[in-house]
Structure formats: C-alpha cells, structure tokens
Amino acid sequence: MKALRWAVFVLGYLFIVVWAACGQTISPSAMEFKGPRAKGTLLIKNEGAGTLQVKVQPQGFDWTEGKPHLAELPKGFQWESKQRTLILGPGQVKYVDFTARCEAMPCHFYMTSVFTTPKPKDGDIGLTTAMWLPCAVYLCEKQKACRMRTLKEAGAIK
C-alpha cells in the first residue's frame, strides 16, 4: 500500500512538472542574414502553467553525411545579447535582441533557448527539467536563399 501511494505521488508530480514545462515557443525557427553581421530578434513564449527560467546561448552546428550535429562555433564568431537569462511567468512573452558576426561566409549557428523549471526549495523532493529549443541562424554573402544554399552544400537536401 505504501509503495502504491509513493508511485501515485511520483506520477502526479511528474505530470505537474511535464504540464508546467510544456508549451514553450520560440520564433522564428530559422533566420537568414547577409553577412558578415547579423542583427535579429528572437521571440520566446511560455505557454505553460508555471514559471520558467530561460538561458539564451549560441551553439555551433555542422553536418556529417547530411545529418546535423552540434559542433564548435565558427572561427572568429562573436555574439552579443543583453537578454541572456530570463524569467518567464505563465503566458509571458519576451524578445531577445542579438548581434552576431562571423569572419568567414557562409556561417551558421544555433541560438539555443534552454527552458528550465525552478529548482526545488531546500527540503522539497523535486525534479528539475530542461528543454532546449534551437533557432538556426545562417549568414551568407547573399541573404536570398542563404539557408537553402547552405543545406544543399552540406548534403542535407537535394
């Protein structure tokens, strides 16, 4: 009986954590710029029922045999944003402005938003969850069809 109560408690807690952590949105999911500089805005929305912490950070990515994978940021890459860490209440929307610069074209990276639930208070039993949502950013010599050219060169599309 005790094990059953514990199992119901754990399942109930996980349901609440997952429910509070679901429904995050970033927009757009991809951006294209004429390089070597990019100046953009990322919309971040918490559509869940709980407060979330969000950390925005750049991440490099590349392709192997047409499949994307995380990699080092491009050589000579610079990124700035005043809004690197945010607290989002239920239904709240915030905008993150950023600037990026790459030495060589084409250049691509992720603007990754890491959503985390608040840490449990001392003495509380709890679980912290995290969800990573990337926005792919492409910088090319010409802005038009930058992403498509980059994906074709990488073998990701034909």
Q: For the chain, which residues make up each domain, given as ranges?
A: 2-154
Q: Each residue of 53-106: pLDDT tens digit?
A: 999 999 999 888 888 899 999 889 999 999 999 999 999 999 999 999 999 989
Q: Each residue of 5-20: pLDDT tens digit?
A: 655 555 555 555 555 4
Q: How far apart are CA 93 and CA 71, in angstroms?
A: 30
Query: What is the pairing mode between strands 130-140 and 30-34?
Result: parallel
How high is the pLDDT of residue 81?
A: 94
Q: CATH number for 2-154: choose from 2.40.128.110, 1.10.10.10, 3.60.15.10, 2.60.40.10.
A: 2.60.40.10
Is residue 76 within 8 Å of 104, Cβ to Cβ? yes
**Rounded (10°) CA dihedral 44, 49, 52, 56:** -20
The Cα angle at residue 59 between residues 41 and 152, in degrees rounded to 5: 85
Is residue 114 within 8 Å of 54, Cβ to Cβ? yes
How high is the pLDDT of residue 13?
A: 52
How high is the pLDDT of residue 16?
A: 52
Q: How far apart are CA 105 and CA 109, in angstroms?
A: 12
Of the segments 21-30, 100-109, 120-129, 145-154, which one has the largest average pLDDT value? 100-109
